[in-house]
Structure 1
Amino acid sequence: MTMNKQKIWFWIAPSIFGILVLAVIRLVSDVPSEAKFWNRPIALNLIEVASSIVIAYLFQFGMVLYVRKRSPRTGELTPKKLLLEYLVMLVVGLVIMYPCVAIIHFFTKDPLGIDDIVIAGISFSLLLVIAYAILRGNQLLQAYVDQKTKTQQISNIQMETELKFLKAQFHPHFLFNALNTIYFQIDEANEAPRKSIEQLSALLRYQLYDVNQCVNLEQELHFILTYVDFQKGRMNESLQLYINFDPSLDGHKIHPLLLFPLVENACKYIGGNYRMKLEALRENNALCFRVENSIPPDIKPVSRSGGVGLENLRRRLDLLYAGKYQLELNRTEHSFIANLTIEW
C-alpha cells in the first residue's frame, strides 16, 4: 500500500468505523423491537451519525498514539502483550463511549435502556478487534518493510565497501612488491635508503596483513614507533622525541590503526622546536593515548575536526567504540595536543 493510500485510509477509516458501530447497534436493538430508525426524523439520525464519527476520530487518534508510544518499549510482541493492548483500548473506549451514548440519547429524546448499553458494548468490542488488527497489522507490515529495506541497504554498503577494500589492496601490494625490487637494487653501502625501504615495507605489511581483526596494543604501538622512526628522515635532526608507554597495557586488544592517525597528524604538522611527545597510559580501566607536537608559528589554524584523517578516525570510533571513547583536539600557541580515551 502506497503512502498516499495509507493517508487516505487513515482519514476515512474512523468515519467507516463510527458508522459501522452505529449501524450494528441500531440493527441489533431496533429490528427485534420492530422499530425502524430510518423512519425517525432525519435530524436525530444525523446527530447520531455525526456524534459517532467524531467519537471514532478522537478514539483513533488516541489509539494510534498509544500504540506508537508503546512500540519502542514493548520489544517482541507476544499474544499476552497484544491482548493487554486491546483490553486497555477497550476499557478506555467504553469509558468514552458510554457517556457519549447517554448524551446522544438525551438529545434525541430516546430512552436509554440496559439493552442499549449491552448492545453498544458488545458491538464496539467486536468492531474494535477488527480496527486494532488492521492498525497493528499495518504497523508490523511497515516495520517489516523498513527492516528489509535497511538490511538491503546495509548489504549494498558492505558489498561496496568490500569491493573498495579489494581494489585498495591492489595498490599497496603493487607498491610492496616494487619496494622489495628496489631494495635489492640499492647498493649495500647505502644503508640509509635501504633502512627507509625496510621501514616502509614493514609499515605496508602491517596495513596489509594485520588489520583484519583486533591486534595486541603493543603491535599497534610498535607500528607507531616504526612510523615515527621512518618520518625522522624528513624531519629536523634536532627532533626531541619523548615516549612513555605503560607496560601494563601489554596484552590488551585494540582495533588496528586507531592510534595511527593522531601520530600521522603530528608528524605532518610538527615544526618550531621539533618536539613530540607520545604517551599511552592505563587509567580507570581505559586506554589514554596522548600526542603532543610543537607547531610552527605561521601554521594555518587547524579545524576542530582536525582534517580528513582525523574526521575518518571519528567515524571509525563511532562505529567501533560508540559511547566508549572521548577524542579531544586542542591547540595552544606553540603546540597541538590530541587526547584519545577508549574504555575497555
Structure 2
Amino acid sequence: MPTIAWRKIAGLIIDIMKTSITKSSLHPMYYLGPALWGIASFNILRVVTDLTKKDEFWSGGIKIHLVGLLISVAFCYVITLLWRRRLERTFAATTSTAQNVWVEYLIAIVQIMAIFNPTVFVFEYFGWIYMGDGYIDYMLVNAVYIPLFLLYYMFLRNEHIDKNMADNRIYVEQIKADKLNTELQLLKSQYHPHFLFNALNTVYFQIEESNTLAKKSVEQLSELLRYQIYNVDEKVSMEQELAFLKSYIAFQQQRLTERLTVNMDIDEDWTGVTVFPLLFQPLIENAFKYVRGQYAIDICLKQEEGKIYFRITNSLSEYSTVKPAILFAESPESGAGLSNLKKRLALVYPQRHTLNTQVDNKHFFAELILNM
C-alpha cells in the first residue's frame, strides 16, 4: 500500500480522535470506544466471511487486512462524530427521549450505507483491499455492519440520554440552590419588618393634618411595602395583584411631572385567575425610571387562551442616551431589575414564560407572557 495513503488514513483517525478528546472531559472510553468498536466489527466480519467459506482466518495477506481494519476504525470515528452531533441537535429540539426513534434509526442506516459502501469501493478500486466475490461480499459487509452499527447507535443514544439526565440533575440542584439563596435574601429583607411599619406610622402622625398629600403617600407606601413583604411565596388572585399595581402606579405618578401620561388597557374579568405576585412590578418600575421624551407610558394586561399577556412601553428622548434602558434589557448585572426577575421567573414559571424587551431611540418595550 502506498505510504501517502497510509499517512492519510492515520491522519484522519488522529484528527477525529483529537476532536473527540477536545470536546469531552468524560471517561476515556468516550474517545477510545469508536476504535474498539471498529476493531470488533471488522473481526466479526472476518469470522463471517472467512470461516463460513472455510477459509483460513485472516487469509489474503496481513497488509490487506490491516487496511480493512483501519477503514473500519476510521469509519467508526466518522460515524460517531456525525451521530453525536445529530443526537445533540435532536435532544436540544425536544425534551422527550422517544422522539421519532424509527426515523432516527432509518437515517442511521442510510448514513452507514452511504458512507461505508463508497469507501470500500474506492479502496478496492485502488487495490488496497480485496472483495473477492464482488456484490456478494458487499452484501455480507452490509449484513454485518448495519446491525452492528445500529446497536452502536443505540449505545450512543443511551449515552446521550444519560448525559442529559445528569445535566438535568445538575440544573435541578442549581435551581434548588438559587431558590434557597432567594429565600435567604428574602429573609434578610424581611428582618424586623414591623420596625419599618412602626417607623412609617410614626412619620404619618408627625405630618400635619393639613398636609393630606403627604399622609396619603405614607399610607400608600405602607400598603405597598406590606404587599411586597408578605405576599411573595404563594400565588395571589389577579384582583389582588391588580390592586397592588394600580396603587404602585398611582404612587409613582405622584413623584413625577404632571406631563406624564399613563394609559392602561386592562381586562376587567379575572375571576379564578391566580398568579405569583410582583412579576409585573419590575417592568413598571423600569418604565417610570426611564420615561422621557413625550413622558408617556402604555400598559396592557390581557388574558387569552390560558395565557397572561403583559406589555408595557415607555417613551424615550431621542436626544438623550438610552443606555439605562439597554442595560436593563441586556445586562446580567442589572441589580434588582431584569436579572432578578429572570431568576424568579425560572423558579416559579419554569419553561412556562416568555420575556422579551426591545429598545429604539424613542421607545422601550417589554413583554411578559405567562402560561397559566
Indicate whether the TM-score tops 0.5. Answer: yes
> Deviations for 1:213-272, whole angstroms, at most 9, x for unmatched residues?
45454642333323544x48xxxxxx6455554576655798452423443567xxx9xx
| Structure 2 residue identity aligned to 1:204 | L
| Structure 1 residue identity aligned to 2:285 | F
- In structure 2, which of residues 59, 62, 69 is the aligned counterpart of residue 49 of structure 1? 69
Q: Which structure 2 residues correspond to residues 293-308 of structure 1 after superposition, within 5 A?
A: 303-305=323-325
The alignment of Structure 1 onto Structure 2 pairs a total of residues equal to 317
Distance 1:148 1:240 in 2: 53
> Deviations for 1:90-118, whole angstroms, at most 9, x for unmatched residues?
23313433344445555245522555334
* Structure 2 partner of 1:313: 337
Shift of 1:175: 0.5
Distance 1:325 1:199 in 2: 30
SS of equivalent to 1:119? helix
**Normalization by structure 1: what TM-score?**
0.70
Distance 2:59 2:316 in 1: 93
- In structure 1, which of residues 33, 40, 45 is the aligned counterpart of residue 53 of structure 2? 33
- In structure 2, which of residues 91, 114, 130 is the aligned counterpart of residue 71 of structure 1? 91
Structure-2 change in CA distance of 1:293 and 1:225 (3 Å): farther
| Structure 2 residue identity aligned to 1:98 | N
Distance 2:226 2:187 in 1: 16
* Structure 2 partner of 1:235: none
**Normalization by structure 2: what TM-score?**
0.65
Q: Which structure 2 residues correspond to residues 141-220 of structure 1 after superposition, within 5 A?
A: 141-181=162-202, 183=204, 186=206, 191=211, 197-209=218-230, 213=236, 214=238, 215-217=240-242, 219-220=244-245
SS of equivalent to 2:100? helix
Structure-2 change in CA distance of 1:104 and 1:172 (3 Å): same
Kindly indicate whether the alpha-carbon contact (under 8 Å) linking 1:206 and 1:223 is maintained by their aligned counterparts in 2.
Answer: no
* Structure 1 partner of 2:7: none
> Deviations for 1:199-222, whole angstroms, at most 9, x for unmatched residues?
442343343346664545464233
Kindly indicate whether the alpha-carbon contact (under 8 Å) linking 1:217 and 1:249 is maintained by their aligned counterparts in 2.
Answer: no
Kindly indicate whether the alpha-carbon contact (under 8 Å) linking 2:359 and 2:365 is maintained by their aligned counterparts in 1.
Answer: yes
Structure-2 change in CA distance of 1:177 and 1:261 (3 Å): farther
- In structure 2, which of residues 35, 38, 42 is the aligned counterpart of residue 22 of structure 1? 42
Query: Residue 129 in 1 paired to residue 150 in 2?
Result: yes
SS of equivalent to 2:66? helix
| Structure 2 residue identity aligned to 1:169 | Q
Kindly indicate whether the alpha-carbon contact (under 8 Å) linking 2:280 and 2:310 is maintained by their aligned counterparts in 1.
Answer: no
Kindly indicate whether the alpha-carbon contact (under 8 Å) linking 1:183 and 1:197 is maintained by their aligned counterparts in 2.
Answer: yes
> Deviations for 1:285-344, whole angstroms, at most 9, x for unmatched residues?
9877566799xxxxx97743477899443336654896565464869xxxxx86666679
Shift of 1:160: 1.2
Distance 1:59 1:306 in 2: 45
Which shows bigger deviation, 306-315 or 211-220?
A: 306-315
Distance 1:290 1:51 in 2: 62
SS of equivalent to 1:304? helix
SS of equivalent to 1:112? coil
Kindly indicate whether the alpha-carbon contact (under 8 Å) linking 2:109 and 2:150 is maintained by their aligned counterparts in 1.
Answer: no
* Structure 2 partner of 1:225: 250
Structure-2 change in CA distance of 1:110 and 1:116 (3 Å): closer
Whichever of the two has the greater Rg, that structure is 1
| Structure 2 residue identity aligned to 1:66 | R
Structure-2 change in CA distance of 1:12 and 1:171 (3 Å): same
Q: Which structure 2 residues correspond to residues 262-281 of structure 1 after superposition, within 5 A?
A: 262-263=287-288, 277=295, 279-280=297-298
| Structure 1 residue identity aligned to 2:103 | L
Query: Residue 9 in 1 paired to residue 29 in 2?
Result: yes
Distance 1:59 1:145 in 2: 24
Shift of 1:27: 1.6
Which shows bigger deviation, 217-226 or 25-34?
A: 217-226
Shift of 1:181: 4.6
Distance 2:300 2:321 in 1: 31
Distance 1:77 1:341 in 2: 32
What root-mean-square deviation, in Å, do the aligned CA atoms of Structure 1 and Structure 2 show?
A: 4.4
Distance 2:58 2:364 in 1: 82
Distance 1:340 1:66 in 2: 35
Structure-2 change in CA distance of 1:4 and 1:307 (3 Å): closer
Kindly indicate whether the alpha-carbon contact (under 8 Å) linking 2:295 and 2:315 is maintained by their aligned counterparts in 1.
Answer: yes
* Structure 2 partner of 1:260: 285
Structure-2 change in CA distance of 1:265 and 1:204 (3 Å): farther
Kindly indicate whether the alpha-carbon contact (under 8 Å) linking 1:216 and 1:251 is maintained by their aligned counterparts in 2.
Answer: no
* Structure 1 partner of 2:4: none
Percent identical pairs in the alignment equals 22
| Structure 2 residue identity aligned to 1:138 | E
| Structure 1 residue identity aligned to 2:96 | E
Shift of 1:74: 5.5
Shift of 1:283: 10
